[in-house]
Amino acid sequence: MTGRDDNDPLFLQVKEAESSVFEPFLGPSGFSNHGQRVVTGQRLMQATSDIFLGWLHVDAGDDGRPRDFYVRQLKDWKGSAEIDQMVPEAMSAYGRMCGWTLGRAHARSGDRVAIASYLGRSNVFDRAVLEFSKAYAKQNEADYGELVAAVKSGRIVAETGL
């Protein structure tokens, strides 16, 4: 298929959607089609979804077994930040953008009125998140200290990957 002209090809990507990794712990998905489960999740998280995003079921794949799939437009517009080239200020800005993006995606998947009602007007939740964050940072520092000690003692070997 093509878009505006022959220089504007349209490629559709079809990917198999298998059962969720959570199913052994939480039970079967509420969706009868795993492709629909994936697509529903993507539509919840994305501000604007691909207009070609959809799902399908095949009664018998090449191996004779039923298969679920999801379909989307294939766009190779993905970029990647070169974090190993970043100065600290750029890394900080990049971290803030990633946090904002993740927060926005998660906010789309919830019921904001129900969440606001649950949290109420006090700062109890804010304080709890702050205290958890401080404890988590402290634990990370302690874990890093243990890693450094293990490397210095020779218990483990550290490689830079370069």
Q: For the segment 131-152, what is each residue's pLDDT rounded down to a tens digit? A: 999 999 999 999 999 999 999 9
pTM assigned to the model: 0.54
Annotate 110-134 with b (16+ C-beta within 10 A) or e (fewer).
eeeeeeeeeeeeeeeeeeeeeeeee
- pLDDT for 27: 92
Q: Can you tell me the distance from the alpha carbon of 68 to that of 33, in angstroms, rounded to the nearest whole number?
A: 6
- pLDDT for 53: 92
With 0-12 CB in 10 A as exposed, 13-18 as middle and 19+ as buried, what is 17? buried
The residue behind tokens 């890693």 is: 147
Query: Do the beta carbons of residue 57 and residue 66 sit within 8 Å?
Result: yes
Which pLDDT band holds residue 94 (cuts at 50, 70, 90)? very high
Examine the pLDDT at 78 and tell me if it is beyond 70. no
Examine the pLDDT at 59 and tell me if it is beyond 70. yes
User: Which residues lie below 8 Å from residue 50, measured CB to CB, with a gap of 6+?
Assistant: 72, 73
Q: Taking all residues of the chain, what is their mean pLDDT, rounded to a whole number? A: 88
Q: What is the pLDDT of residues 19-44, one digit of tens each?
A: 999 898 899 999 999 999 999 988 88
Q: Can you tell me the distance from the alpha carbon of 143 to that of 137, in angstroms, rounded to the nearest whole number?
A: 10
